[in-house]
Amino acid sequence: MLDIATCVCGATVMVWRKILQQESEHQWLAISGFFIFVILGAVLIKGTSHLPGVDLTENEFGAEHRVMEIAYSDEMSAVASTYSDGNYQLIAIESGSINVIMDKESQFDVSRISQITTIENSSVLVTNGLDEVILIENLQTFEFETNFGVDDFGVTDIAQSKNDPHRFLMITKETDSFNSIRGLNSTGITSSFTPNNENVIWDNLAHVSNQQWIATGTYNAPATSGGESPAAPSLKPVWAKVLWNGGYTAPMIDDLHIGEYGEYHTAVNLNNEQFVIAGTHETIILDHQTGDFETMDYSSVAAASDKCDSVWLFNGQDSSSVLRFSGDSWSVENLPHDIPINVEAAGFDGTIVHLHGIDENGSPKVLTFDTSALGSIESGGGFINLSFIVISLIMFAVMAINIYDKFRQ
């Protein structure tokens, strides 16, 4: 086979050399063919310039299950809160097998699940703000101890430290539905609660670096400020850095920022220095080492970080592109078709970003993005780009050889 390919390539080069000779009557035909090839290649490259690896399918939990919250451990494992026919369930997938972990008959109120979080060893923590936090490990459920004190509180969100797996930060619902933040050291420490004097309802947490976290939530402007109506208070998005040293002292809110409107739905790590806070109205790029940040006028409804130091921001139904941060730059990637679902939950399994939602008919669907397909030779655009480059190099090489031969003569 190698000998045949070598002969074919050799014959092709000889033909092109003959055609491109100055004395050849086919010279102008060859030049015209080359320009046609360039134009055709440009058209094909433009036609395949959309993001590859995008697919719309039924979700992995079954066509009848609407996914409300989800966390992936890897490509074969996930835990999700689902809704079907008026019933909520907590379902786990393990190596393709679907397992119902909890349902309406369980003591844990699955209808109020607020967050599903993956921690080390691919275990999962589930919170609902009312009952004890649930730990799911190898399809078994356990109570995860969060209260080593005497105070009574519920947990609506919990995030593990990447530096110390024993440390967690929690958004808590204190007595009289008072919203606050506490630290947890699973070796036996629950911190005091953070006084909430900022009129903020905290929603989500993300660990940034040693003793530093990001919290996002909603600021409820007092009715006495700016003529706000008590019947319709102004709700604004808010984010802040939170500092906690791992002891009994309450976490400290540091550097709080209030946005204009909308909400911050996701905070994800971009690289060792930068953090992306994605919102429905704007996007914040934070340098957590210096504290500097910039605001970008880009709205989204979901975000995910992959293994390639990239963050993907997805807009709502009918949007035709996604925003991708990579390193210190960003790019807008065109989709092969508009997003056909109203996104309700998102997750990343190590290779593929999953966007769960419902289509215009109210049917649960999942839109998947294969992050490894971008720039791959296996994609249509990658193959055409490679072919265009190879063929162009062959043509220029033959032309250069002819010029060299002319000079020798």
Assign residue 206 the CATH number of its domain. 2.130.10.10
Report how far residue 40's alpha carbon sits from residue 388's, in angstroms, rounded to the nearest whole number. Answer: 10
Where is the domain boundary, 251, 286, 313?
313
Is residue 171 scored above 80 in pLDDT? yes
Q: What is the distance between the alpha carbons of residues 126 and 79, in angstroms, rounded to a whole number?
A: 9
Do 16 and 75 lie in one domain? The reply is no
Please give the torsion angle defined by the CA atoms of residues 224, 230, 234 and 237, in that order, rounded to the nearest 10 degrees: 90
CB 93 within 8 A of CB 71: no
Is-above-0.75 flag for pTM? yes
Q: Assess whether 394 and 306 both reside in one domain.
A: no
Question: Are 123 and 262 within one domain?
Answer: yes
Nearest CA-CA partner of 216 in 175, 162, 156? 156
Same domain, 78 and 219: yes
User: Which of residues 283, 313, 343 is at a domain's end?
Assistant: 313
User: Whose CA is closest to 323, among 338, 334, 312?
Assistant: 312
pLDDT at 294 over 80: yes
Does residue 336 lie within any of the structural domains? Answer: no
Q: Identify the domain boundary among 280, 313, 346.
A: 313
Contact 160, 207 (CB under 8 A): yes
Residues 130, 191, single domain; the answer is yes
Same domain (yes/no): 267, 305:
yes
Rounded to 10 degrees, the C-alpha dihedral 62/68/70/76 comes to 0
Tell whether 25 and 114 lie within a shared domain.
no
pLDDT in tens, 37-67: 666 655 555 545 567 788 999 888 888 899 9
* DSSP reduced 3-state for 47: helix
- Is 149 within a domain? yes
Q: Which domain holds residue 400?
A: 2-47+383-408
Judge if 211 and 118 occupy the same domain: yes
Q: Establish if 283 belongs to a structural domain.
A: yes
Q: Which tokens hold the place of 117?
A: 């979080």
Shared domain for 32 and 145, answered yes or no, is no
- In DSSP notation, 185-241 reads ETTTEEPPPPP--S-EEEEEEEEEETTEEEEEEEEE--TTSTT-BTTBPPEEEEEEE
Q: How confident is the model at residue 123 (pLDDT cuts 50, 70, 90)?
A: very high
Is residue 28's pLDDT more than 80?
Answer: no
Any domain includes 318:
no
